[in-house]
A = this chain, B = another copy of it.
Amino acid sequence: MNGAEALVRTLRGTGVEVCFTNPGTSEMHFVAALDRLNLLRCILALQENVATGAADGYARMTGKPAATLLHLGPGFGNGLANVHNAKKARVPMVNIVGDHATYHVKYDAPLTADIEGIAGPVSDWVKTTQSADDVGADAAEAVAAANSWPGRIATLMLPADAAWTETPNTGAAVEPEGPLPISEADVAGAVRLLSSGKKCALFVSGATLVEPGLTKLGKIAAKAGCDLICQTSNRRVDRGAGRVAVKRLPYPIDLALQMLAPYEALVLIGAPEPVGFFAYPNKPSRLAADEAEIVSLATPFQDTDDALDRLIAALGAGETEPVRRAATPPPDPASITGEVGPETISKALSAVFPENAVIVDESITTGRMFYPDTEGAPPHTWLQITGGAIGDGLPMAVGAAIACPDRKVVVLQSDGSALYTNQALWTMARERLDVAVLLFSNRAYRILEGEMVGVGVEKQGAVADALFGLNDPEIDWCKMAESMGVAAVRVDRAEDLAPAFADAIACNGPKLVEIVF
C-alpha cells in the first residue's frame, strides 16, 4: 500500500464517499489509487470551482463532507471562491491538494506556490502531510476537523512522494469536536428578553432552519409571541406548506433596515447579529434598530439544538403547537401574461412548483420575490450562496443532485453568475443529474446598475455601461448548454414560462430553460 492508497482507504473508512475533482500530474498516484480501489465515487469537474461548489452542495444536503482533489496552489485558487462560500455556510469539506514531492519544492518549479498560504484564509484546518506514514492519520484528522461543529473546511496537502511511498498505516477515525455548550446565563438572557414585553424576533441560522429546529422555533414563537427571521444567506432552509415559516432578511440594505426597524429586541440563535452585506456611506453596518437589545442564546459554534430545547423548557412551550404555513394555491398558468420579468417568472415558478424539490437559488436581482412568493409552495429545501462569491449555483446543484438522486433539483440562476462556472453544465450531462436550470438572461449585471445608483451616480456613462452589460454580444444560453450536452429551450413570452418550467421539471435529467427578458 502506498500513501495514496492509505489516503483513499482512510477517507472511505471515516465516512467520505464522494470525490469531486479535476486532478493533475501531482495527483496521479492518488488517481491510480482511486482507480485501483474503487472506494469513492469520483466526479469530474472541468474547472475546480465546480468541484468545490459541488462539495458544498453535497454537504448541505447530506451533512457529510465530500472530498475534493485539487492540483497544487493554482488548482486550489481556481476553487477558492466556492470554498469561501462553503466556509461561510459552515459545511464540512475535505480538500486534498496535491503538491510537489517534498524534496522538489526547493527547486521552485513552475507550479510551486505556498499552498498553505493560499488555502489558509478559506480553511478552518490546514496541514501538509510530511510522509506516507503520516497520510492516514492526517486524513483522519482532516475528516474529524471537517465534521466538527458546525461544519468546517479541512485542507490537506499531499506531497507526491508521500503519495507514492509505501506505508503500512491507514488512519483510524478521530472524534470530531462538538458544539460549545449552552450556559444557564445564555438561556436566562433569552427568556428575560422574550418576557420583557418588547417586540422581539429570534434571529436565526444554521441547524435551526431544518427539522427538528424549525418545529422548535415554531413552538417558541407561538409561546412567546415573537417573530422568526433568518439571515440573508443560510446554509439550508427546509420550508413550504406545513412547515414553520421563517422570514428572511432582505439583501438590499434599505429593505433590511426596514424589516428590522420595529424590533426592540433580538435573540440570536446560530447566527451573529445582523450586519450589512456591504457598507454604504452614511448607512450603518449593524442593521438592528439602534435602541434594540440583542442577546445571543447560541452563537454558530454553540449547540443550537440544545439551546432551543432549553428555551422551550424554560418557556414551558413543550406542548405548544407551532403555527405551520398554509399551502398557497398555485396560480393558474393561463393567468401568466404580459412581460417576461421577475413577476411573471415568479408566478410561473409557483404555478409548477414540484413537491420535495431542492431549490438552488443564485437568482440575484431577478429572484428577489421568489423566496417570499414560495413560502406556501409544496415542501422543499432552499439553498443559497452564502459567501457572496457568485458562481456557486450550478456547482451546488451538481452536488445536491449527487447527494439526493431522488429529489428534483431546480436551479434559479442569473446569467452573470452562471457564466462564472458554466462548466458545471457538462458535469450535469455526464452524470445524468436530475437538474432543471432556469436561466434568467437579463443580459446585464443588473445588481451593479442598482449599486451605482446607491453610490450616488445619477447618470451612468459609457464605461460603466460597458462594464455592466452582457448584451454585446448576447450570450446564447441554449447553444452554451447544448455545447456541453445539456438540452435547452428558450422562452421569451410570459405565456410560455410555466409550460417550459413544467417540461424541464418533468424531464428526468438535466435541462436548461433560457428566459430572455
Contact = CB atoms under 8 A, between A and B. Distances in A.
A103 B285 contact: yes
3 cross-chain pairs, A with B, having the tightest CB-CB distances, nearest first: A473-B485, A77-B80, A74-B389
19 contacts: A25-B448, A28-B451, A28-B455, A31-B448, A35-B463, A35-B464, A38-B462, A44-B467, A77-B84, A77-B122, A78-B78, A100-B278, A101-B279, A104-B278, A109-B277, A111-B278, A115-B121, A118-B122, A480-B483
Given A388-B111, A429-B473, A483-B480, A32 B121 contact: no
B455 A164 contact: yes
Given A109-B276, A278-B100, A480-B483, A38 B78 contact: no
Given A35-B461, A391-B47, A460-B35, A113 B107 contact: no
Given A28-B452, A104-B285, A42 B74 contact: no
A44 B28 CA distance: 36
Interface string A451-483: 110111100111110110010111111111011
Contacts of A35: 457, 460-464
A388 B77 CA distance: 13
Interface in A428-465: 429-430, 447-448, 451-452, 454-457, 460-464
B233 A110 contact: yes
A10 interface: no
A483 B472 contact: no
Contacts of A454: 28
Contacts of A128: none
Contacts of A36: 461
A84 to B, nearest CB: 5
A148 interface: no
Contact of A111 (B47, B121, B387, B485): B387
A32 B452 contact: yes
B463 A34 contact: yes
Contact of A279 (B117, B160, B279): B160
B80 A74 contact: yes
A6 to B, nearest CB: 16
B81 A419 contact: no
Interface string A7-46: 0000000000000010111101101101110100010101
A28 B448 contact: yes
A114 B104 contact: no
A77 B387 CA distance: 13
Nearest to A26: B278
